[in-house]
Amino acid sequence: MYPDLKGKTVIITGAATGIGKACALRFGQEQANVVINFHSDKQVKETEEMIKEIKNSGGNAIAVQGDVTKESDIKQLIEKTISEFGSLDIMINNAGIENEVPSHELTLEDWNKVISTNLTGQFLGCREAIDYFLEHDIQGAIINMSSVHEIIPWPHFVHYAASKGGIKLMTQTLALEYAPKRIRINSIAPGAINTPINAEKFSDPKQKEGVLKLIPMGYIGEPEEIAATAVWLASNQASYVTGLTLIADGGMTLYPGFQAGKG
């Protein structure tokens, strides 16, 4: 537990499912004020349940619908946060999408959709949070949800890999730019995590086996294991950490092909 997170206000985008949801519930356990951004009308019920759970664990929460690709929605997300909780301390840009297409068949529409959600959406979240932190002299923290694919090339997912590679240098650049203001900006790079984004892949035993071969620790990660890294990065325990990509991947980026002395 991180006592300094108690009473802090955190926005998490795309927080009705998967990693974002696990982060929201974990910040709730830390007794933070949690703003659950969600995208689809279908997620309303889920966010209502989450609000109850967060309040039961001693935190506070609201849900705000919004599309991270829309500048006006991000601005509104920050405004609603301030009007409800009076401040913003932590911004987690988590919303992301992917779809598999051979690169020579990838439409401009699909390319733009992934880049605008995963990269532009995170930029807008960073920009609005930084602007607020500067205006109110807050030494805030920003966490961008990247991926091991900011390092590992990924055929058939060129738009996704490009978005995550972009997040890496966006995070480092912003971290450098705002370090003098003590605003810390970091990323998390999860490996294969058990969330809806992977549901179809992991429901096929053959595909799941293929993924497991890429993970030296031998299991698919749980969203709570990513949330555990997010609360640390947001807390004062990480006060001197900025510009970092924290990799949480069970060893996926350690060249598993070289295991047992191969190579």
**Binding segment toward ligand NAI, per CB under 6 A, in 2-10, 95-103, 228-236, 252-260:** 95-103
Of 2, 132, 160, 178, which residue is the catalytic one?
Answer: 160
**25, 28, 30, 39: residue in contact with ligand NAI (rule CB under 6 A):** 39
Burial of 222 (0-12, 13-18, 19+ CB in 10 A): middle
Query: Which of 117, 171, 235, 245 is the binder for ligand NAI (CB under 6 A)?
Result: 117
Nearer to ligand NAI, 7 or 106 (CB): 106
Distance CA 14, CA 18 (A): 9
Edge to edge, what strands does the sheet with 184-190 contain?
A: 60-65, 33-38, 9-12, 90-93, 141-145, 184-190, 245-248
Applying CB under 6 A, which of residues 94, 171, 186, 187 lies at the interface with ligand NAI? 94
Binder of ligand NAI out of 7, 60, 62, 97 (CB under 6 A): 97
Contact pick of 12, 64, 95, 227 for ligand NAI (by CB under 6 A): 95
d(CA 252, CA 257): 10
Near ligand NAI by CB under 6 A: residue from 9, 17, 187, 229: 17
Q: Is 234 in the site for ligand NAI (CB under 6 A)?
A: no
| Nearest residue (CB) to ligand NAI, 87 versus 198 | 198
**145 lies in the site for ligand NAI, by CB under 6 A:** yes
Minimum distance, C-beta of residue 146 to ligand NAI, in the bound complex (Å)? 7
Active site residue 2: no
Among 9, 29, 69, 186, binds ligand NAI (CB under 6 A): 69
> Which of positions 161-220 make contact with ligand NAI (CB under 6 A)?
190, 192-193, 195-198
Task: Tell me the β-bridge partners of 145.
Answer: 188
- The DSSP secondary structure of 20-32, one letter per residue, reads HHHHHHHHHHTT-
Query: Which residue number, 20 or 28, has a Cβ lying nearer to ligand NAI?
Result: 20
Beta strands per DSSP E along the chain: 9-12, 33-38, 60-65, 90-93, 141-145, 184-190, 245-248
CA distance 201 to 207: 6
φ, ψ of residue 185 to 5 degrees: the values are -130, 115
Query: Which residues are paired to 208 by β-bridges?
Result: none
Q: How many C-beta atoms lie closer than 10 Å to residue 102's C-beta?
A: 9
Cβ-based nearer residue to ligand NAI, 138 or 223: 223
Chain residues that interact with ligand NAI, rule: CB under 6 A: 13-14, 16-20, 39-40, 67-69, 94-97, 117, 145, 147, 190, 192-193, 195-198
> Which residues does the annotation mark as catalytic?
160
